[in-house]
Structure formats: C-alpha cells, structure tokens
Amino acid sequence: MALVINHNKPLSTSPLKTSAPLGAAMAFMGMEGSLPLFHGSQGCTAFALVMMVRHFREAIPLQTTAMNEVSTILGGSDQVEQALVNIVKRAKPKIIGLVSTALTETRGEDMKGDLKLIMAGNAALADTKVVFCSAPDFDGSLETGWGKAVGAMIDALVEPPKGAAPLKRVNVLAGCHLTPGDIEALKEIIEDFGLEPVILPDLSGSLDGHVPDAYVPTTLGGTTLEEVRGMGRAMLTIAVGEHMRISAEKLHARTGVPYLVLDRLTGLEAVDRLMVALSTAAAIPVPAKYRRQRSQLVDAMLDGHFYFAGRHLAIAGEPSFLWTYAKLAAELGAEIVAAVSALPSPHLSDLPCERAVIGDFEDLEDQILEAGGADLIIANSNGRLIAGRLGLAHHRAGFPVFDRLGAAHQTTLGYRGTRDLIFTLGNILMERPSHGHDACTHTEHSHGDPAIAVG
C-alpha cells in the first residue's frame, strides 16, 4: 500500500508529463491509413510530431489546422474545414483523428456540431472517416489522451453486433505503455490459442519500423476500420492497463462483449492470468510453447532474484508504466524507494512501496536524495539528467526514449518479455553492486568492488 502524494506545485520542473493530444495522436496512429490532425496552432503539432519522430525513428503523419490569432478569436471552424479538405486531397487517408488542443478548448468551440456541418457540406470528405476527440492539454497526460482517443473511436466506429453469434475473436484494448514489440508478442500469443486478435490501437502494424516499397503519406499498417467495426462480434475483450478500463466498459455497453481488465502483462502471475483467460476463451489447454516459456521465466526469476533483492529502485512514468515496472521489481525483492507518476490514478495506492508522488523529475530527484540514493532509475530518456547528476544507472523505457535505439521493439510482455526484462535489469544491477554504504546485499560484493557475481 502506498500513500499517494500530490503537492500541486505551481511550478513543474523537468516535466514527466507529455500532453494529452500527443497521446490521442499516438492512438490514432495505430489505425491503418490514418492521419491525425490537431486543431490548434502549428506549434502544438510540431512539438508532438518531433517527439514521436525522435522516439519511434519513423516519419509521423500529423497535421495542424494552423490556428492564428484571428481564427482563434473568430472561431476555427473554417480552419478545420480547410484542413480536412486539404488532407483528403493530398493524402487520401481512410481515417482522420481530429484532436482538439488547449487553445481551441479554452475558446470553447463546439467541434462536434461544427464537424457535422462540415461533413454534410463537403462531398469530398464522404470516403474519409473523421473521428473527433476532445483532449485539451490542460487536462491529464499521455495516458489521458490515448484513452480518450480509443473511447472516441469505439463510439464512432464500432457497430452493435445485431444478434450474430460471436466469432473466435478477441478484442484487445492496448494501453499506451505497450510498445509495438509488446503488441506483436501479444498478437502471437492470442493467435497461438487459435483466436483472432483485433488490437485497438495497433502500433505494431504502423510504427514498428518497416521499410515500405513506396511513399505513403498516412500510416501504413495498423487496425483497419473494418476490424474496429466488427469488434462487437468478439467473444472477449481484454483491456491492458488500468487506463483502458473506461474504454472496455464503453465497448461492453455498446456491444455486450464481456471484458477483462488486466493491469499488466509483465510478471509471472500477470501473464498466467492472460493464459488462463485465453485458454478459457479458446477452450483449449495452454500450448506447450508457453508452458516451456513459463518454465524459462521461472528459471530466470530463480537466477535473477539475487541481484534485485534489497536493491533500491527509482521509477517514474505514466501510471500504467510505473505500475508494471514497480510490480515486477517488487516481485523480485527490490525496494521501490522513489515512485513518481505523471498523473493521479486510483490504483496507485496499491503500489508496492511506501509512497507514490504525482509530479515531475524534480520530485524523482528529491525522493532519491531523501532515500539516500538508488541503484537504478527506470524512466524515459529525460531521466538522464538526474542519473548523470547523481551518478546513477538509468534504464530507458516508457515515452519518449530518444537516446537509445529500438525503443519501439523493447518487449516486456509475456513470459518471454518478462524473462528478457529481468535479464536486462538484473545485468545493470549486477554491474553496479552498490550505490552507497548501505546497499550491498549480495555477499560477494560486500567490499563494494565492481566484481561480477559467479554462478
């Protein structure tokens, strides 16, 4: 149980938060033939775009309504209309995710109403699905916007099943803490149970770093509109991450498909829950492949727990990211001495640490200093400044990771993903046996020398 502290500081220093519209755009990026559009000034788009380019190392289709002072005062409906028409003319996307920003929400535009009029008045837009998502920057963070966009797509696209029998299909509402690599792994698992996965949103199709044979101005790969429409025919919905709960409820209300919220898919017991759910849904036993992988993970935990036991970890990120890493670390005997979340979320009080702070990297640094140091920081690339200043190891994960290769393929999902993560983190901890006088836990390292453990 953790005490959740929110200082509500007037000054955020070295923000951990990113903006909600960015989260929404990223969710829309998981659709095939998609081109998200921010309704705001061009800077809103430029910053979000550059951040995603740096993280994914991919071209990011993202446009702007390019609001200026005058259109902000008079209303931006014309800008939206022009933008939609121009985008359809140039890029012919199948879906445009229209995302509001703090600028247009502060003014208080009736975007839904405006959009109706725009769609009715432009025949050219008939072949493009425009999904509106309200995600002002002044409310929440990446997870917030991602969740809102998924909810908006469910509302706008999913068709009620009309009494048809469910197919051997499983919906997955993927949280924004899952990488394209994670989603790829999850798809494979579901398929191995003889089930057909429909992932919303599916970044593994669009942002997995492939080299197409021609230039495409929209996303290439991702969930198709057809797949989303047919989500009502699934036998089960699995939501991954607490922030997907609202979307799961929404989908359930719309289609009656039963749902299951899995808090994470990293860690032995967490993956066990997934296996049981899939095995039950498919009415087949867990395939031998996964029994083998489970055994490998158990072995990794046996080999690895020495290096985690009693070590001090500092973790910062979006709630679901923090939750996933903190739970795994605690399951291996590590102590979470600093936990910082970009956002409040009810389940954070169940974190396996004394307290969790809603805040920024300054809070993370303060927590670490208060704890007398830490062995390892797990956070996005912006944690590097603190790690450098305090001389601590830093494992890059979450969003954005721009100073390491392969952020999109970092896979921590499933038995195999968990196994590899234990190795990665365990190796860092093994290399740095101690962060200070009180941290030595493994007897071979009691002199604080950098020797590598045997056996």
Partner 1 sequence: MLKHKIAELMNEPGCATNQAKSDKDRKKGCGKQLTPGAAAGGCAFDGAKIALQPITDVVHLVHGPIACEGNSWDGRNSWSTGSTLYRLGFTTDMQNLDIVNGGEKKLYKAIKRAIARHNPPAVFVYQTCVGALIGDDVDAVCKAATERLGVPVVPVNAPGFVGSKNLGNRLGGEALFEHVIGTHEPDDVGPTDINILGEYNVAGELDQFRPLLARLGIRLRCSITGDARYLDVASSHTAKANMVLCSQALITLARKMKETWGIPYFEGSFYGISDTSDALRNIARMLVEQGADATLSQRTEALIAEQEALAWARLAAYKPRLAGRKVLLYTGGVKSWSVIQALQEVGMEVVGSSVRKATEADKKKALERLGGDEDKLADAITPKDMYAMFKDGKADMMLSGGRSQFIALKARTPWLDINQERHHGYACYDGMVELVRQIDLMINNPVWDQVRKPAPWEEA
Which spans of this chain sit near partner 1 (rule: CB under 8 A)? 9-15, 17-19, 21-22, 37, 40-48, 50-51, 53-54, 57-59, 63-69, 72, 79-80, 82-87, 90, 101-103, 106-107, 136-139, 141, 211-212, 214-215, 217, 382, 385
> Whole-angstrom Cα distance, residue 2 to residue 146?
26
Does residue 273 contact residue 262 with C-beta atoms inside 8 Å? yes
User: Which of 41, 179 has the CB closer to partner 1?
Assistant: 41
Could you tell me the smallest distance in angstroms from the CB atom of residue 435 to partner 1?
Answer: 22
Stretch (H or E) spanning 88? helix 77-91
Cis omega before residue 258 (within 30°)? no
User: Which of 50, 268 has the CB closer to partner 1?
Assistant: 50
- For 254, list phi and psi in degrees, rounded to 5: -80, -35
User: Which of 126, 211 has the CB closer to partner 1?
Assistant: 211
- Report DSSP letters for 347-413, one per residue: GGGGSSSSEEEES-HHHHHHHHHHTT--SEEEE-GGGHHHHHHHT-EEEE-SS---SSS-GGG----
Could you tell me the smallest distance in angstroms from the CB atom of residue 319 to partner 1?
Answer: 16
Closest by CA to 319, choosing from 339, 297, 293, 345, is 345
Could you tell me the smallest distance in angstroms from the CB atom of residue 87 to partner 1?
Answer: 4
> Whole-angstrom Cα distance, residue 425 to residue 189?
24
The token pair at 403 is 């100073």
Burial of 126 (0-12, 13-18, 19+ CB in 10 A): exposed
Could you tell me the smallest distance in angstroms from the CB atom of residue 233 to partner 1?
Answer: 35
Could you tell me the smallest distance in angstroms from the CB atom of residue 78 to partner 1?
Answer: 8
Does residue 252 contact residue 236 with C-beta atoms inside 8 Å? no
Length reported for the chain: 455
User: Which of 10, 391 has the CB closer to partner 1?
Assistant: 10
User: Which of 104, 255 has the CB closer to partner 1?
Assistant: 104
User: Which of 100, 247 has the CB closer to partner 1?
Assistant: 100
User: Which of 110, 191 has the CB closer to partner 1?
Assistant: 110
User: Which of 86, 427 has the CB closer to partner 1?
Assistant: 86
Query: Strand (E) positions, 235-311?
Result: 236-240, 259-262
> Whole-angstrom Cα distance, residue 12 to residue 435?
28
Could you tell me the smallest distance in angstroms from the CB atom of residue 155 to partner 1?
Answer: 23
> Whole-angstrom Cα distance, residue 275 to residue 137?
37
Could you tell me the smallest distance in angstroms from the CB atom of residue 384 to partner 1?
Answer: 9
User: Which of 128, 412 has the CB closer to partner 1?
Assistant: 128
**SS3 call for 102:** helix
Could you tell me the smallest distance in angstroms from the CB atom of residue 11 to partner 1?
Answer: 4
Closest by CA to 453, choosing from 242, 335, 309, is 309
User: Which of 22, 430 has the CB closer to partner 1?
Assistant: 22
Closest by CA to 421, choosing from 395, 455, 449, is 395
Could you tell me the smallest distance in angstroms from the CB atom of residue 3 to partner 1?
Answer: 22
Could you tell me the smallest distance in angstroms from the CB atom of residue 17 to partner 1?
Answer: 5
Does residue 408 contact residue 208 with C-beta atoms inside 8 Å? yes
